[in-house]
């Protein structure tokens, strides 16, 4: 355990978050997402895991990870097939954590399922969660930390 670092963030995840640069994508995926095969195609090339619900994982990650303020899609969610405007409870829970981390409303943009898979393949890394509910898949683009930040 370390002071000031969320206990869900294991050493492998911390290393990946630290290594990522501005504009790199992080995928947080549910248990049904093809995480292992997709992760092999990412920059990191291997799967990371945090066995907890998606909202808890996102809260932990966003406690350290800045979102990109230069693009509109720095926070994204996989849309429901055939129901692109529907937002299931898991996505509402994650949206609350995104808003809390940013201190304001920060809407996640919907991404069609297969477009999400392609974005995930181009990501820096994939964290598979223990989330068992459908559509618990999210993409977060890394922003910058200003030089005067603590």
Clarify whether 117 is annotated catalytic. Answer: yes
Can you say whether the dihedral through the CA atoms of 16, 101, 28, 52 is positive or negative?
positive
**Residue 138: count of CB within 10 angstroms of its CB:** 31
Clarify whether 25 is annotated catalytic. Answer: no
CA distance 37 to 66: 27
Residue for token pair 């920060």: 106
Axis crossing angle, helix 54-62 with helix 89-102, rounded to the nearest 10: 10
Q: Which of 72, 75, 63, 54 is nearest to 140 (CA)?
A: 75
Given 22, 36, 72, 114, which residue is catalytic? 22
Given 65, 117, 124, 135, which residue is catalytic? 117
Given 24, 25, 30, 68, which residue is catalytic? 68
Clarify whether 6 is annotated catalytic. Answer: no
Catalytic residue list: 22, 68, 117
């Amino acid at each position: 355990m370390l002071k000031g670092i969320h206990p869900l963030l294991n050493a492998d995840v911390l290393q990946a978050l630290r290594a990522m640069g501005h504009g790199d994508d992080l995928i947080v995926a549910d248990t049904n997402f093809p995480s292992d095969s997709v992760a092999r195609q990412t920059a990191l090339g291997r799967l990371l895991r945090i066995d907890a619900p998606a909202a808890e994982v996102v809260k932990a990650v966003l406690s350290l990870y800045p979102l990109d303020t230069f693009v509109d899609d720095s926070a994204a969610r996989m849309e429901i097939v055939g129901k692109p405007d529907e937002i299931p409870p898991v996505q509402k829970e994650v949206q609350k954590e995104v808003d809390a981390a940013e201190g304001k409303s920060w809407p996640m943009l919907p991404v069609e399922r297969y477009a999400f898979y392609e974005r995930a393949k181009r990501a820096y890394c994939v964290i598979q969660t223990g989330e068992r509910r459908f559509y618990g898949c999210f993409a977060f683009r890394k922003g910058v930390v200003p030089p005067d930040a603590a």
